[in-house]
Structure 1
Amino acid sequence: MGPQALPPVLLLLLLCRAGSPFRICAFNTQRFAQGKADKADVMDIFVKILSRCDIAVLQEVMDAKGKAVPTLVAALNSFDSSGPYNYLTSPLLGRGNYQERYVFIYRVHKTRLLDSYTYEDNHPDRLDVFAREPFIVRFTVPSKALPDVVLIPQHTMPSKAEAEIDALYDVFLDVQARWNTEEMIFLGDFNADCGYVAKKRWGQIRLRQQPGFHWLIGDKADSTVRENTRCAYDRIVVHGERCLGAVIPGSAQPFNFPKEYGLSEEEALKVSDHYPVEVELDTACWGLPPTGPTGLVLLALAVSSGSGYGI
């Protein structure tokens, strides 16, 4: 007689624990271009940071010739065999000679790029608000409860941070109308602290005041590398009940890479003067009925009937 089979409910609950979180990161790479790509010690830290992320959204990528990003992704694929990684870059965005790209680097076996567009900064009441317009991308998520999510990065001009953060609400309305979705994550270097956004102005910023927006990185966080600064420049803001419900509590935070990798401040500043910020989405048994007696009965019925509910 073979070993006794596990009860179906227990078996399913054990399988649920096997799910791994889906991590989304945003990182101001501080003028990332070929000069940084040519430095082996700097690239070593970059690939270690990015290998932690299923989707990484890079800002301040000043790769005008389009060679530094492919070099970075190739190094990442060589470093991390759990990939492969692919990437998508925005057009060069900015005014005058100062132009940047937003870059999305993602694991192709865990997510799929569905669509993208550059926001047209032509709102009749607020023309040309953004120094660098949002480049908006929709990705799949490994979940039946949250099949996809829209990522909206923003790197604000410090002197215009208040106006740009407020105008992200117009971007929200534009995405909502275009793709008929509520599930969005705004992320990036908002310059949302330390003199660039006055405390008394938060009450007039729609992305902060309108219902349904959840600021996961708080005002007391520190996303700066320099030891003599403490500023919550970089933020993650979630909209949508399903998206918020997927967030693992406490997972949204800056990633202190100098501490993690034993770097001095001088060594860390060769990489960036910002910490990445990140959030994790729970992919374990999403879509299952609630726990408790009723939920367990439904689970048992689902497994015994072979319906595979929520799997």
Structure 2
Amino acid sequence: MMEKTLVVFLVVVQAVCQVPLTTSPPPTLSTSVTSTPTTAAPTDRLIKIGAFNIQSFGKTKYGRLDVRDYLVQIVTQYDAIMIQEIKDVSETMIYKFLADCQLHRNFSMVLSARLGRSRYREQYALFYDHDKLTVNKYAEYPDPQDIFHREPLIVHLMEKTKGKELTLMGVHTDPDDVPEELGEMENAYNWAVGQGYPTNALMMGDFNADCNYFKASEYSSVSLATNSSFTWLIDGSADTTVSDRTDCAYDRFVSTGTGLFSNTTVDRFDLTFHLNVSQAKRISDHYPIRTIWVA
């Protein structure tokens, strides 16, 4: 049922697997979540895209039946969702999660190698609805200067009805090196375009792009924040943390090209499921972020 593919970067093959298968001003720390009107389009061309850092996502967390049920409900709302912080050393739990989600949607998966500079490593997984979308190719950014602790996962996504294409770039930055890693995202994008990926792109994930990790004074040194070719769909006034003591916009979408995105927001699953902070944090310390791609 599942096929593993080895993808070569920096001349060495890294494991990445696939299972059946506007410009705006630089972001500031004081404006709000983008919520543009949805452009009229057939509903099958409105692709709901998400990014979700599922804190310490491994066998222990997935073994909690209530958490498992909530995670399946959250993730299967999306047509495509980039999952971060997968920490299962055996690399088996994510397949069980995929199988549980497949009971509700015809999901396929792209899975990165285990990424990191030490014994601590994480994976990315893109779940996507194979009835609506297809993946033409995928890769991990080769990162020639070794800037990233966890190199971005880059995916060439295509909508099946009209054949519209989009590059997805998922990343979980290291909190100690946020300006450096975000500064390299433009180079990662340029590399992807040079490899034939679509120029219309959506960067996503836990950027750690706020509070103590990425201060307002550091924005000017990061081209992703100053280059008007990049639009930050979620800015610094949002709160993507599941806590009553923090207010930080760690998780972000950044778009470039002519792709249309609307109704971008933070997915407050605690409100959906009527959970208190303690109950919600059993699921994750991050909320998912979501946007609509008008394909």
Q: Provide TM-score, normalisation by structure 1.
A: 0.79
Write the deviation string for residues 251-309 of structure 1: whole angstroms up to 9, x where unpaired. 111101111111111111111000001110225xxxxxxxxxxxxxxxxxxxxxxxxxx
Aligned residue for 1:307?
Answer: none
Aligned residue for 1:38?
Answer: 63
Q: Is the 8 A contact 1:37 1:71 kept in 2?
A: no
Aligned residue for 1:75?
Answer: 100
Give the secondary-structure state (helix, strand or coil) at the position aligned to 1:59: strand
Residue 135, structure 1, aligned to residue 150, structure 2: no
Give the C-alpha shift of residue 51 in structure 1. 1.1
Aligned residue for 2:261?
Answer: 247
Within 5 Å, which residues of 2 pair with 1:5-154?
18-19=43-44, 21-78=46-103, 80=104, 83-122=105-144, 127-142=145-160, 144=162, 147-154=164-171
Write the deviation string for residues 165-197 of structure 1: whole angstroms up to 9, x where unpaired. 111011011011111531111000000001111
Give the secondary-structure state (helix, strand or coil) at the position aligned to 2:88: coil
Give the C-alpha shift of residue 21 in structure 1. 2.1
Give the secondary-structure state (helix, strand or coil) at the position aligned to 1:64: coil
Larger helix share, 1 or 2: 1
Give the secondary-structure state (helix, strand or coil) at the position aligned to 1:171: helix
Larger strand share, 1 or 2: 2
Give the C-alpha shift of residue 155 in structure 1. 0.4
**Greater Cα offset, 62-71 or 187-196:** 62-71
Give the secondary-structure state (helix, strand or coil) at the position aligned to 1:163: helix
Aligned residue for 1:174?
Answer: 191
Distance (Å, rounded) in 2 between the aligned partners of 1:30 and 1:180:
30
Task: Note the residue ranges of structure 1 that are not aligned, 5 or more in a row.
Answer: 1-14, 284-311
Write the deviation string for residues 54-110 of structure 1: whole angstroms up to 9, x where unpaired. 0010110112211111111111122x2xx2111111000001111000101111101
Aligned residue for 1:238?
Answer: 255
Q: Provide TM-score, normalisation by structure 2.
A: 0.83
Return the structure number with greater relative CO, CA threshold 8 A, min gap 6. 2
Q: Cα–Cα, structure 1 residues 48 and 63, in superposed 2: closer, same or farther, change >3 Å? A: same
Tell me the amino acid that sits aligned with residue 71 of structure 2. F
Residue 213, structure 1, aligned to residue 230, structure 2: yes
Q: Is the 8 A contact 2:134 2:160 kept in 1?
A: no
Give the C-alpha shift of residue 20 in structure 1. 5.7
Structure label with greater radius of gyration: 1
Q: Is the 8 A contact 2:168 2:202 kept in 1?
A: yes
Q: Cα–Cα, structure 1 residues 39 and 212, in superposed 2: closer, same or farther, change >3 Å? A: same
Give the secondary-structure state (helix, strand or coil) at the position aligned to 1:95: coil
Task: Note the residue ranges of structure 2 that are not aligned, 5 or more in a row.
Answer: 1-39
Give the secondary-structure state (helix, strand or coil) at the position aligned to 1:73: helix
